[in-house]
Amino acid sequence: MFLSMQPREKDPGIISLHLSRLAEIYCKETGCSRGRGGSMHLIDPDVGMMGSAPIVAGTISLAVGAALASSIRKDGRVAVSFFGDGATGEGVLYESINFAALKRLPVIFACENNLYATHMPIRECRVNQPIYKMAESFGMTCHVVDGNDVLQVFENSRKAGDACRNGNGPIFMEFMTYRFRGHVGPDDNIQGGHTDIRPKEEIEAWRKKDPIVSFEGYLEENGLMGREEIIAIRAEVEREVEEAIEFARGSAFPDPCDLDKYVFAQ
């Protein structure tokens, strides 16, 4: 997935983001791609989200293209490409990093290193495990960040964005994190026993580093927010999710007669 920071003002007539995204996952006409994209093709240019794709590393070159356009237009926008550690095995990443570094483009390569590429641990598919070292060889500024620390992620991302806008891009950021759920649904089959290839003890150890819970603790400990306020926010989020699910389920599927609609620009 990639996005362009400094999004345009959103049209109030457009269905809210969380509703249209979930409707698209349900392949409904009210989805952000009118149900044609499904879960793998989400887009919302009005908030700077320029698209996702199912191909591993597929959006990295697109983000570089967006950064090149921004550089030519001098509009102050910064492209951000999000990808996992598994994408580091794809050649397009290296081609994109080389071009971005050569042209000093305003793009942030945000690698979410969760230590597993689908079902294979990173130690079994990379000789040199610290991913950021690969980007260093292209002369890029690199940051290794605790991906489960909300404040550290925010501060380092803000600095990276400022650096790109000041002509000091591109920036490579390796966020060290972990996924709590399995790569596919059956991996989380509690009743059927532990079927995930990852050690159960490893998963439990990382659950203690849950970024949401940790940030809630920080807010409470520093007197920035009380427990009741946190509970209220959680309830509001759950309400929004339920609203989106209800909207998606209640929306209509695309009309089969419109199969060739939106294929070409009208």
Residue 160: in which H helix or E strand, if any? helix 150-165
pLDDT, position 193: 65
Is the pLDDT at 124 greater than 90, yes or no? no
Tokens representing 102 are 């050569």
Domains in the chain, ordered, with CATH? 2-258 (3.40.50.970)
What is the value of pTM for the model shown?
0.85
Tokens representing 120 are 């294979």
pLDDT, position 189: 60
Is the pLDDT at 99 greater than 70, yes or no? yes
More confidently predicted of 196 and 36: 36
Which residues, at least 6 apart from 247, have a Cβ–Cβ distance to it below 8 Å? 19, 22, 23, 30
Task: Read off the pLDDT of residues 107-121 as tens digits, 9 standing for 90 and up.
Answer: 999 999 999 887 788
Number of Cβ within 10 Å of residue 178's Cβ equals 19
Q: What is the mean pLDDT of the chain?
A: 87
Which CA distances in Å does 51 have to 47, 63, 160, 210?
11, 10, 21, 27
Residue 135 burial by Cβ neighbours in a 10 Å radius (0-12, 13-18, 19+): buried
Q: Which DSSP category does 54 fall into?
A: S
pLDDT, position 7: 45
Tokens representing 4 are 């362009």
Q: What is the mean pLDDT of residues 233-245?
A: 92
